[in-house]
Structure 1
Amino acid sequence: MFMTGQYVRGAEAAPALGIDLDTATIPQLQERMAEGSLTSSELTAAYLHRIRTVDPRINSVLHTNPEAVAEAEASDARHRAGQVLGPLDGIPVLLKDNVNTRDMPTTAGSLALAGAPPDTDAELVTRLRDGGAVILGKTNLSEWANFRAETPTSGWSAVGGQTRNPYVLDRNPCGSSAGSGAALAASLAQVAIGTETDGSIVCPAGINGVVGHKPSLGLVSGAGVVPISVEQDTAGPMARNVVDAALTLAVLQGSEPVVPRADGLAGKRIGLWRLPDLGPEVDALMSSTAAKFRAAGAEVVEVVPPYQDRLGELEFPALLSEFHRDIDAYLATRGGPRDLAELIEFNRRTPEEQTCFAGQELFEQALTAPPTTDPDYRAMRAELTDLAKRSIDETMAEHRLDAIASPTNPPAWTTDCARGDDDVIPSSTPAAVAGYPSISVPAGFVGELPVGLLLMAGHRQDPELLSLAASVERELDAWRAPKFLPSLPPSPEDRDFG
């Protein structure tokens, strides 16, 4: 284990907390703050120190909040007075930079939004502030949440450049919550907020070896979050452990915080969706995971959720229509381009927007997509959502499952602007399109590269899924700290998953 500040040799001395930031949980931190052996100011200073000394290697944090220290001091005063606001009071949180903050830029990674900050916070930020969280800063992301080019590079934005995977620095952190995932892996905050339309919380969680929970659609307000589609978009918590993710979700949705109980896997029925196309190394990891589950008393049955090909045919055309509607509505609230057409023109005349990849094919296709008032679009979205729900509901009912499990991600691919991503990963799609919950927990490694296990369940089964994830996390015990390796020698793992 590495203690705070010890990843960078020769760096300025880190604040001495007497705790391991890699493994400390929110309940442990709150216990220390309650007894007076730790303050939020000390914790915040430690994370700011890590951002200064560690983040230059991975480039995950775009901005730090100049008010973070004052927010921590206010939390310390509440702790001394016995007026703690909840589980996140005094806990440093990073926000993906497509979540509106009134006191810091919100850019979605685009220079088009790099002017004045929004007038108001996103609703989820208001909930975090009301809960006493210390807003530490904003993380880099795949520009426009990876909905701009046909061959984008995850973790790249014109505002922030390229975020790197802390495990192996020339590998990709996956998108679009790339900065949030990489920052957590490098212990630059206690928790972070990501957003997902399909895969953008769970993939960066899996590929960076952390936990990411995509909540059921509607649990967390999307007001003030740069959209792709209100039919699928949701913000959600990312953390280094399931307990922290669950406590953060409670604050985001305004519910009573409950620590998920890791009651074990005995008697649980889990459907394993193998996805062998992700490679033999990942498939072998799924086999060993299934063996561990069975040894812990779970029943594991192999499943293949139906309708996946049809979901693949329908999802992208539906998102094009929804993006045009929703991004126009958002841009109307900000300075800069007033609608998608003006945004396309901005990119054409701005060379900095073309330094990794020049394309904006998805923007151009969305501009001419059928409007969401079109009957054909409406029929397409209705079929799409129905089939996604049935793919999970029917599979769980037929096999009497508590959850469906699948690999979250392949081993991280080498980042390459010319080639783009290799991240066609179907496991996130059913829950994302259905609006059902999913959560990725660390499953193990292929060499030095993390692989996550994705768990999904039915409508609004977030509490049950979080409890199951806590048991899975304890059983697999798969987390290990990143080594910040510069590269890996060529190996059979360097496959093309595109």
Structure 2
Amino acid sequence: MSLLLQIIEVDTLVASQILTDPYAFDFPHLGAVGASLFPMRYCHGFKLEEASVDAIQERLSNGSLNSVKLLECYLERIYQTQPYLNAILQFNPDAFSIAQKLDEERAHGKVRGPLHGIPFIVKDNIASKDRMETTAGCWALLGNVVPRDSHVVHGLRKAGALLLGKGALSEWADMRSNNYSEGFTGRGGQCRSAYNFTVNPGGSSTGPGVAVGANLIPIAIGTETDGSVINPAQRNAIVGIKPTVGLTSRSGVIPQSLHQDTVGTFGKTVRDAVYTLDAIYGVDTRDNYTLAQEGLTPKGGYAQFLSNKDALKGAVLGLPWESFWALGDAHQIAQLEELLTLIKSAGAIIINGTELPHYKTIVSPDSWNWDYGTTRGYTNESEYSYIKVDFYNNLRDYLAEVNNTNIKTVEDLVQYNIDNFGSEGGLPGIHPAFGSGQDGLIASMESKGIMNETYFSALEFCQRTTREEGIDAALKYMNRTLDGLLVPPDVAQSIQIAAQAGYPVVTVPAGTSDVSGMPYGLAIMNTAFSEPTLIKYASAIEDLQKSSGTKCQRTLPEWRGYLERNLPVSNYWYGNSGHAFEIGTGGYVLAEDNVFQNVKTVVGDLIYGLLFASPGATENNVCSTYLGRDGEVNGFSSWGFLAGRHWLLL
């Protein structure tokens, strides 16, 4: 046989394995921009991108699609984007066999509900009794065996939903470090937002938020102690529902604080997120907090409260301007005001100045800070004073039920991270994603779980000033009770107040920054177990957005900086006021149009992070070579200086 014939024969044998047209579904075309960078393939003739649960269910019902094919299509999307987004921490090896059984049920006339055959993921601190790990993203818990499904996973399985895998998160749900890279875990690496790879993707439920926002999955669940559902939802242009503490069980969830932990839902629409909520809420004897919902939840679930824009006629909504809105980025607030005008045009009454009575005391004017009481000099008024104690005790109780692990206490965890500091950053200044090491875990360890006078005083103060003397008080205006408070969730302090209260919040996509490309939301909050009201008005606002064609709604990701791999990710600060900050070792930050307080920089010392900022009008061309324009000037509200220049940008 001649050499030419041998080559032809070999080519024929491998031809089916050769990718002849790599663009654009399999490899993003270098130089392309916007949503076309990672186009989503049709799923057996069906446009799966942006498809709602109802639209998917229609295809499943008419037989043009089944759960196995649907799973294949979502996995194809994940394989396409996983090397870039890193949103999925682990895949369920039994997913296809589960899909086959759900298809068999459907073929025999059994459809469990709107989620039958619909894939979902859960944050990797939510236990599933299967062949997947539950580790909070850390190496320390690898190989542990949980005793049972978490209550929420059981509910979704029972509803017919298909568990595809575990989503990425911020390690230990942001409990381990106070200076860290949001969305990073030792076990999984850095999860990034499809909207902008170089900035904070939102967390700590990062993977679920990113996955739903980038059309990797239709629905997901995450957990929130303080912002960890609402933040990733609004930063990935999706709907997030953070329920009242006690509406969804925490049994089988790696805890932080039973006073504030709750399991929430993600979807691209309010309806999809509500379908997911309907599957997971309810009383659970393994979580006593859920007993509080008896008599306060609706028969027939929450989907019955979904509405359209007509529901806004006569609605009375409060705007706590000085409490929260005044702290927001001016460009973002201006766009949100356009949406508020649209809501008013639909017949809603929006009352400005419905403030929380103690906002000057309990709301940090700088940024989110769960130790703000201590910052003010009062540890007995700080959320962190009880969170760190709760974590010590609640984690010990959780680990007592887990088998096949040597990690049983916070002390064990701290020591593991020190022993493995290279991968787990157990010491400060070692790992760029954990700039402060594990100071959060150490603070919890040092508390020894002792519930002393400071603990109880802080808990009482935070709950009182955010509940009856907080949100509840703001809801009572003149002689009427408002239907809800509208807040900008990108002002994280607003979500922090609801977290301390244990009250529900729903956020809907409300626009995208022209500067960073990152989305932001509009949130509505109310008192305990007011989910029917929040769902009614959130879905009404969503319907108004879609029917009006306003730009103040969900947009597709533009995949900005998809080749960048900066660590930590929080490296662009724009339009902030009064921020005190720290840049982690080896970090690089570009700052524009900020007003800083109490800040000094030493640029050029690689032991510390580098700040690229224009300190005045005469030097606002510092980064022009790299930005293609002059940087916007930063200022100071008290003292400070920005020293030096450096050639290395981001």
Distance 1:17 1:480 in 2: 25
Give the CA deviation at 1:150. 1.7
Q: State which of 246, 254, 266 in structure 1 corresponds to 2:313.
A: 266
CA offset digits 1:424-461 (Å, max 9, x no partner): x2010222111211011101111122011111011101
What's the RMSD between the two structures over aligned residues? Answer: 2.4
> Structure 1's 301 and 378: CA in aligned 2 closer, same or farther, altered over 3 A?
same
Describe the SS at the equivalent of 2:312.
coil
Between the aligned residues of both structures, percent identity stands at 32
2:376 maps to 1:305:
no
Q: 1:439 is matched with which residue? A: 506
Structural mapping, 1:326-341, within 5 Å: 326-334=394-402, 335-341=405-411
Change (3 A) 1:30 1:13: closer
Matched, 1:465 2:546: no
Greater mean deviation of Cα atoms: 439-448 or 296-305: 296-305
Note if 1:244 corresponds to 2:244.
no
Distance in 1 (alpha carbons) for counterparts of 2:27 and 2:120: 22
AA of the residue aligned to 1:301: I
- The offset of 1:174, in angstroms, is 1.4
1:102 alignment partner in structure 2: 129
The farther-off stretch of 479-488 and 353-362 is 479-488
2:414 and 2:93 map into 1 onto residues whose CA distance is 33
| 1:407–1:364 Cα change, 3 Å | same
Partner of 2:206: 178
1:452 alignment counterpart: 521
Write the distance in 1 (CA, Å) between the matches of 2:160 and 2:318. 39
SS at match of 2:335: helix
Whether contact under 8 Å (1:22, 1:481) holds in the other structure is: no
1:427–1:454 contact (8 Å) kept in structure 2: no
| TM-aligned CA deviation for residue 370 of structure 1 | 6.8
Aligned mates of 2:462, 2:231 — CA distance in 1: 22
Report the number of matched residues.
Answer: 480
Structure 1 window deviating more from structure 2 (479-488 vs 182-191): it is 479-488
Q: Tell me which residue corresponds to 1:387.
A: 465
Q: After TM superposition, what 4+ stretches of structure 1 lie above 6 angstroms from structure 2?
A: 10-13, 487-492
Contact kept? 1:193, 1:238, Cα under 8 Å: yes
Q: Which of 346, 349, 358 does residue 296 from structure 1 map onto?
A: 346
Deviations along 1:107-136, one digit per CA (max 9) or x if unpaired, are 101111112342321111111111111001
CA distance in 2, matches of 1:276, 1:140: 33
Partner of 2:300: 256
**2:101 equivalent among 74, 79, 83:** 74
Q: 1:67-146 residue pairs with structure 2 within 5 A?
A: 67-103=94-130, 104-146=132-174
Q: Does the 8 A contact of 1:124 with 1:252 survive in 2?
A: yes
Q: Which structure 1 residue ranges, 5 or more long, are not aligned?
A: 411-424
The aligned runs of 1:337-348 (5 Å cut-off) are 337-348=407-418
Q: How has the CA–CA distance of structure 1 residues 90 and 376 changed in structure 2, closer, same or farther, with 3 Å as cutoff? A: same
CA distance in structure 2 between the partners assigned to 1:442 and 1:13 by the alignment: 21
| Separation in 2, partners of 1:13, 1:482 | 12
Give 1:406 shift. Answer: 1.1
The 1:7–1:25 alpha-carbon spacing in structure 2 relative to 1, beyond 3 Å, is farther
The answer on 1:360 being equivalent to 2:428 is no
Taking structure 2 as the reference length, the TM-score comes to 0.70
Q: In the alignment, residue 177 of structure 2 is paired with which amino acid? A: A
Partner deviation per Cα, 1:172-210 (whole Å, 9 max, x = no partner): 211100111111111111101110001000000001111
Going from structure 1 to structure 2, the CA distance change for 1:83 and 1:136 (only over 3 Å counts) comes to: same
Of residues 461, 480, 496, the one that matches 1:429 is 496
Residues 434 and 492 of structure 1, relative CA distance in 2, 3 Å threshold: closer
Equivalent position amino acid for 1:270 in 2:
L
Q: Distance in 2 between matches of 1:446 and 1:300?
A: 24
- SS of the residue 1:216 aligns to: coil
**Aligned-pair CA distance for 1:281:** 1.1
- Which consecutive unaligned segments of at least 5 residues does structure 2 have? 1-23, 30-37, 283-298, 364-371, 374-381, 426-430, 547-552, 565-570, 582-650
TM-score normalised by the chain length of structure 1: 0.91
Bigger Rg, structure 1 or 2:
2
Query: Which residue type is aligned with residue 339 of structure 1?
Result: T
8 Å CA contact 1:195–1:236 kept in 2: the answer is yes
- The code of the aligned residue for 2:82 comes to D
Q: For the structure 1 residues 386 and 370, does the alpha-carbon distance in structure 2 shift closer, same or farther, using more than 3 Å as the test?
A: farther
From 320, 329, 340, the counterpart of 1:279: 329
Report how far residue 39 of structure 1 moved.
Answer: 1.1
The residue that corresponds to 2:555 in the other structure is 480
Q: Structure 1 residues 17 and 433, CA, compared in 2 at 3 Å: closer, same or farther?
A: farther
Structure 2 counterpart of 1:45: 72
Offset, 1:6: 5.1
SS at match of 1:385: helix
